[in-house]
Amino acid sequence: MLNAYDWRADRLVRLDTAVDHGPACWIDLVSPTADEVAALETLTGIDIPSRDEMDDVEPSARLYAEDNGVFMIAAVATDLETHDPVKTPVTFILRGGRLVTVRYGQPRSFQLFIARATHKPGEKLAGGEAIMMGLIEAVIDRYADALEMKGLELDAISRQIFRKRDPKAVESHNLQLVIQDIGRAGDFLALIRESLSSLQRLLAYHAALSGARAGGKADREARQTVRLLQRDAAALSELSVSMSSKVTFLMDATLGLINLEQNQIIKIFSVAAVALLPPTLIASIYGMNFDVMPELHWPYGYPAAVGAMILSAALPYLVFRKKRWL
């Protein structure tokens, strides 16, 4: 799908097509078809990178200048509100004051930026560079909100793991589900950190190019915006690292609780085996087939043997209770 926008009357206005309405300041390609890519290449003279080229992990293939244009590819996380967030490459192409974006996903941050810029008057976004900065700012703001929500989720998991329990109450909590939640949180943070790293590289590359231009007022404001975005991205990256440490701690604590529960179960079996050993010994002795066993013909032999077995089982149990092993 090809969307074109132009800055008119203090807001972005969506155009029907870029061809019919002349040059637009922003052309957005969303999961484009081959015909749409060919039409845009004819209109702009830009060689649009393919999906395979956008997925290339080499930094030199993600940040480069070609055909009087600057090509910058960043990994943007999508579906952050679900249990299965994914990353999708987004290409930013700046050429002649126009921005062209190519993406194969629907990041919520792009939708929020478009809704805000097309419906509410705001800061001037007449140039492609300003729109790109606005999009990156929307992505970073989205990550900040997502990290805040993930932090609250980790706090809830922490309370669930370390909440005070009645030692006499029999309470079963599914630690397997807790481990799954912690694992998803770790994957989420790794995804956010990877995306922030790609955005930081993009901003650093763009800042280097901006520094080579003349120092006009617009350029100074653009460089200031880039520095602010770099600072915000770095702060969020540090926050994600800190939260990853908490995820590791919670995972270790959960595994420790599982080991404690398993040890408790093994201890119960061990105590039961020790408590039943003396009765088993007594029963084994009187179960032997010897001709001379005086107790076999004693009238009180059976109740005495049963009483001895009960007493021999009760004494270890009482000792274990006194030593608080049970």
Q: Where are the domains of the chain?
A: 2-261, 262-322
- Asked if residue 146 lies in contact with residue 195, where contact means CB atoms within 8 angstroms, the answer is no
Left if phi > 0, otherwise alpha if psi is -120 to 50, otherwise beta: which for 216? beta
pLDDT at 15: 81
Q: Is the dihedral of CA 80, 82, 83, 87 positive or negative?
A: negative
CA dihedral (79, 145, 202, 35) in degrees, to 10, reads 30
- Asked if residue 233 lies in contact with residue 196, where contact means CB atoms within 8 angstroms, the answer is yes
Classify domain 262-322 at the CATH class level.
Answer: mainly alpha
Instruction: Answer yes or no: is pLDDT of 171 > 50.
Output: no
Q: How far apart are CA 270 and CA 109, in angstroms?
A: 58
CA dihedral (228, 233, 238, 241) in degrees, to 10, reads 180
CATH of domain 2-261: 3.30.460.20
What's the pLDDT tens digit per position in 58-105?
A: 766 778 888 788 889 888 988 888 888 888 889 998 888 888 899 888
What average pLDDT does the chain have?
A: 82
What's the pLDDT tens digit per position in 285-302?
A: 877 777 777 777 778 778
Residues 42-66 have a mean pLDDT of 78
Cβ-Cβ contacts under 8 Å for 229 (sequence gap 6 or more): 133, 136, 137, 140, 199, 203
